[in-house]
Structure 1
C-alpha cells in the first residue's frame, strides 16, 4: 500500500462526542475518531453508534454538523483480542469507514484480522505503543495494508512497568527516544508515513513546536494533536521558512545541466543535498494546500 498522505496536523476526537466531529475536521488536516483511550468503557457503545451514524449521514453533530470528508477521517479501534475490538469491527462492517488506526498494534497478524473482517481496501495506521509493538514495527510497516506508523510514549512506558516517559527537564527518557527512532526508521524503510506522537502538555507550545520541528527534520509526515490549539503550532513547524524555500529553489536551479557534485556559497551540493531541497519544496507545496 502507498504511504498514507494525511497531515501534517492530525487530531484525536473522542468518538462519543459526535457533535465535535465536523468542527474538528474544520480545524485539523485529518481527524481520528477515537473509540479507545478518549472514551470510557461504558461510553463505547454510544461512541460506536456515533461513528456508525456519521457514516450513514456523512455528517455529524446533528443539524448543525457539516459533511465529513471521508478521505480525512481515521477511526481508532481498540486493541486486537478484546471484546471492544470485536464490537468495533462489527460496527465498522456496517459502514464504509476503512481507514483505521489499530491501538497497541503488535503484529502483522493483527492487521490481517482487520483485513479479514473488513476487506482488502482497509488502510491501517499501526500505533506502536507497547514494547512488543515497537519491536514489531518493521513487520507492521511491511504489511501491504499499513500506510503509516505512529508511536506512543505513555502506553509504551506502562507496558514496561514504568511510570514516566520524561525526565524532570521534560526530555524523553533514553528508551523512549530509542522507541521513537525504531518506529520512524521502520516506516521509512518500508515506505510508510511516520506520524509523531502527541504532546501531552497542552500549555507547552514551545515544547510542542520543538518536537514538531524535529519530526519535520527527520521526515515525519504528521504530528498528532490532542487539542485544536496545537494544530497551528504543528502546521507552522511543518511549513518551511521562506529562506529555506528560496535556498531550495536556488540549489535546484544551480544543479540544472550539471553532472555530479558542485560548490555553492562555499558548501558542497550533491544528490543528497538535492533530495533535501526537493523535500523542502514538497513540504512548502503541502503547507500551501493545507492553508488553502
Structure 2
C-alpha cells in the first residue's frame, strides 16, 4: 500500500454539490467529496449520482463514505466502483475488521467515536489504511458531551487525548495523521495557531470546512525560508562531522538531523505541489 501524499490543506465538499467540486479542488491541495454528514439522508442517492458523473483528479480526491453497517455504505461502494477514485475516508471507523470489507481502496480511517479512538492502534495497523484522521465533535457526542472545546476555543482534555492517541497510533505504524477541522470559520488567528501546532506535532495535513481556511493551513504547514535555510545549513555541517556535533552552540544528533531533513523535504514537496497545481 502506497503512502499518503495529499495535503496539507484538505477541504470537505458536499458530494451533492457538483457545482462546487472544481472550485474546491482549485482552492485546496486535496478535496474530500462527502457522502456522509455533509449530505442530508434524502439527498444521498443524488450525491452518488453526482459523484459518478462529475469526476475530479483521483490523485487529489478522497471520497468519504458512510460507516460500515449503515444503510448507505453498500450503495456508496457500488457508486465508487464506477469512478476512478482509489482513496476513501471511512466515517466512524471503529473495528479494524471492517477495513477488510473494502479491499482495493486506500483508506483514510476517521476515528471519531470513543471506540474508534481506543482502537486507533489496531486500525492504523490495517494494510489498506494510509492515514488516520480524528473527529472532535462526533467523539464528544458519542460520549454524551456537548462541546469539544472550552469557552476559550481550546480543546477540552478528552479531545486533546483523542488527538494525541490518533497521532501516536498513526506514527507507530508509519501512517499519516490528519488533524480535525476548525469550525470557528472567522477565527483565523485560532486556526493558524492550531495548524502550526498540528504541523509541529507531526500531523501531515489538516482538514477544513471552508475554502477561506486553505491559505492559513498551507501557511502553517509550509516551513519559512529561514527554517529551510537553517535546516540546510545543519545538514551541510553534518557532512564534515562524525557523530554528534555542535552547530551555533547547540548539540546536533540524529533526531535533529531527521528534523532538518524533514523540513527540507517538506519545503521541496510543497513548492513542487504549487508548481503543479497553481491557484487560478
TM-score of the superposed pair, with normalisation by structure 1:
0.92
Q: What is the correspondence of 1:1-292 to structure 2 with a 5 Å cutoff?
A: 1-54=1-54, 58=55, 68-115=56-103, 121-292=104-275
Say if 1:101 and 1:126, in contact at 8 Å, map to a contact too. Answer: yes
- CA distance in structure 2 between the aligned counterparts of 1:230 and 1:289, rounded to whole angstroms: 21
Say if 1:2 and 1:192, in contact at 8 Å, map to a contact too. Answer: no
Report the alpha carbon displacement of residue 290 of structure 1 after superposing the two structures with TM. 2.6
Report the alpha carbon displacement of residue 23 of structure 1 after superposing the two structures with TM. 1.3
Say if 2:58 and 2:86, in contact at 8 Å, map to a contact too. Answer: no
- CA distance in structure 1 between the aligned counterparts of 2:20 and 2:261, rounded to whole angstroms: 37
Report the alpha carbon displacement of residue 18 of structure 1 after superposing the two structures with TM. 0.7
CA shift digits 1:137-168 (9 cap, x unpaired): 11111101000000010000000011110111
- CA distance in structure 1 between the aligned counterparts of 2:171 and 2:243, rounded to whole angstroms: 26
Choose 104-113 or 123-132, whichever is displaced more: 104-113
- CA distance in structure 1 between the aligned counterparts of 2:128 and 2:252, rounded to whole angstroms: 37
Give the paired residue count: 275
CA shift digits 1:48-106 (9 cap, x unpaired): 1001112xxx3xxxxxxxxx211111100011111111211122223332210000001
Say if 1:198 and 1:225, in contact at 8 Å, map to a contact too. Answer: yes
Moved over 6 A (4+): none
Unaligned runs of 5+ in 1: 59-67, 116-120
- CA distance in structure 2 between the aligned counterparts of 1:242 and 1:97, rounded to whole angstroms: 35
Say if 1:225 and 1:231, in contact at 8 Å, map to a contact too. Answer: yes
- CA distance in structure 1 between the aligned counterparts of 2:95 and 2:195, rounded to whole angstroms: 28
Say if 2:58 and 2:84, in contact at 8 Å, map to a contact too. Answer: no
- CA distance in structure 2 between the aligned counterparts of 1:203 and 1:229, rounded to whole angstroms: 9
Say if 1:239 and 1:284, in contact at 8 Å, map to a contact too. Answer: yes
Unaligned runs of 5+ in 2: 276-280
Choose 91-100 or 129-138, whichever is displaced more: 91-100
The alignment partner of 1:83 has SS state of: coil
